[in-house]
Amino acid sequence: MLYDEGGTGVPILLLHGLMGSARTWSDQLGWLREFGHVYTFDAAGHGRPAPAELGTEAFVADLAAATAAIADPMVLVGHSMGALHGWVFAAAHPERVRALVVEDIAPDFRGRTAAGWAAMIDGWPQPFPDEAAVLSYFGDVAGRYFLRAFRRDGDGYRLHGAVSTFRDISEEWGGRDFWAQWEALRIPALLIEGEFTITPAGQMRRMAERAGTRYVWVAGAGHLVHDEQPQRYREEVESFLRDVLTRG
């Protein structure tokens, strides 16, 4: 579940979004190794068993156990669900996190439901027979995201977890908020929000009011900023890492 991607120095842990995988970050590994020792991680329920209870704290406990051997404080780089798990982890284990990158997720989705979204996923024509079929169905950006996450069986590509698991992870966000965990942080953070975000309006800008937080809005990007505008994403993350890693 935890993969050593090489490099030396400060540990940098990459956390993928819902229905993603450690391979989500394939295009970012090379340049991130210039800043530290890079690790990727497959969240529970994504190609391996889910926790018995699908609450955020269970995923954070799983992450804490999986990374227990990483002795030095980490830089956490997260997308969507991974970013949320990252800041809840940092709030619970402040001594283990040095800095945080949050891509396109906010603390409060209360009132939203994943029921329609899950029904749509249930309608996907799985298995997809080949890579071309995945790209044709989802488009280039989302298609590459799913190709890096789907499992490949003898008859083609399919989800690497249960739709009910993904639905219930998302449903929890519709019933609670994570402002307290965000406001408890005392570490530098970079927020990256796409123009066509999934987040409730204004929340990431409000998050940026916390001391030590930098906010970046990326015009023309949707939820997958790191895939849709990789050069802009790289520039912003590199600038942030240079700043926080030279503070000693």
Q: Are 218 and 129 in contact (CB under 8 A)?
A: no
Question: Per the confidence metrics, is the pTM higher than 0.75?
Answer: yes
Give me the residue label for tokens 């890492």.
241
What pLDDT is attached to residue 164?
93
Percent of the chain with pLDDT strictly greater than 90: 95
Q: Looking at residues 27-38, what average pLDDT do you find?
A: 97
Q: Is the pLDDT of residue 213 over 60?
A: yes
What pLDDT is attached to residue 113?
86
What pLDDT is attached to residue 87?
97
Distance CA 97, CA 113 (A): 31
* pLDDT, tens digit, 9 for 90 and up, residues 158-181: 999 999 999 999 999 999 999 999
Q: Is the pLDDT of residue 248 over 70?
A: no
CA distances from 32 to 6, 29, 40, 52 (A): 10, 5, 11, 34
What pLDDT is attached to residue 230?
97
**What are the DSSP calls for 187-201, one per residue?**
S-EEEEEETT-SSPT
Q: Looking at residues 179-208, what average pLDDT do you find?
A: 96
